[in-house]
Structures are given as C-alpha cells and as structure tokens.
Amino acid sequence: MVKSYDKEYQTEKLLWGSEPSIVAKELLNHRKEGSVLDIGMGEGRDVLFLAEKGFKVTGIDLSKVAVNKCLDLSEKNNLDVDLLVGDYLDYYPKNRFNIIISNCTLHLLDQKDVPRAIIKMKKMTRNNGLNIISVFSEKDDSNVSHKFKIDELKEFYK
C-alpha cells in the first residue's frame, strides 16, 4: 500500500484542478457509456467528468479527504457516483467494469505490487472492456519512485 495524500488534499484548492485529464477526455473517443472504475481518483476530476457524460462511475482513493471533496462536488452537481476510501489492491467489487482507469497511480506502488495490480485490473474488466493506464516512463524527468520501461506495460497485455 502507498501513502495517503490527506495532507496535500487539505487545502480548499483542488490539487489537480477541476479540468478532466487527457485520459478521461480521450476515453470519449472510444466509448460513450458503461461502468468505469477510477483507481487513485484523487479529488475526482475524472470521476465527475465521466459521470456528467453518463457513465456509471466508481472511484477509489486512499485519501479520505480527497474522497470527501469529490463527494461534496458530486452532490453540488447532482451527479450519482460511487466513492470508496481504501486501497485498490484490497478492493473486491461484486461486478466487473467496462473500463478501468489508472491515471498516474501505478508508479506509486511498490515495484512488487505492480504485476498484481495489473492482473487484478484485467480480471475486474468485462470482456471487450478497456484498461486505460498512464504512467511515468524512463523518458520522463519526474521524480517518482518507479519509472516504467517503454514496453513494460505492453508485456502484461500480450
């Protein structure tokens, strides 16, 4: 399990802003409906955007502060979302999802947990579903604990 970002989320300002990520916007070019799980949703910018577009969205994050911020925003905007505080690796939903998004979260895991997380994503995704994953690669100059090799994710989806 990685650390919670409760402290970082305790400001009134949204840490990642309110605009949806490129990942969420790009999803609309491939799907217009379905159930979505957003892993490491933060304050929910993508959760809220996709719910507004008609998707049935579930979000999970370790930070109770972030999840509560998203809950407040969803209520203010009259959006129906399912929000959970917890570790994705300990989450076992009743149903599988059409789409699972992991936007800049896998690099936060211990290296040994990455294969488990991806295998779990695949198992939790319905047939003909999508796993959308964005990570930091060796080419990025970001200061993250794990930078993925260029084809590392492709190996999990052979």
More confident site: 144 or 2: 144
pLDDT in tens, 50-84: 999 999 999 999 889 989 999 999 999 999 999 99
At residue 11, the pLDDT reads 65
Residue with tokens 């059409």: 98
At residue 110, the pLDDT reads 78
Compute the average pLDDT of residues 76-96: 95
DSSP 74-112: HHHTT--EEEEES-GGG---SS-EEEEEEES-GGGS-GG
Q: What distance in Å separates the CA atoms of residue 137 and residue 114, rounded to the nearest whole number?
A: 14
Compute the average pLDDT of residues 131-156: 76
More confident site: 45 or 150: 45
In this prediction, residue 106 has a pLDDT band, given cuts at 50, 70 and 90, of confident
Alpha carbon dihedral 148, 153, 156, 157, in 10-degree steps, equals: 180
pLDDT in tens, 4-50: 565 665 666 765 556 899 899 999 999 999 999 999 998 899 999 99
The reported pTM is 0.86
Nearest in space to 15 (alpha carbons), one of 85, 65, 82: 65
At residue 1, the pLDDT reads 47
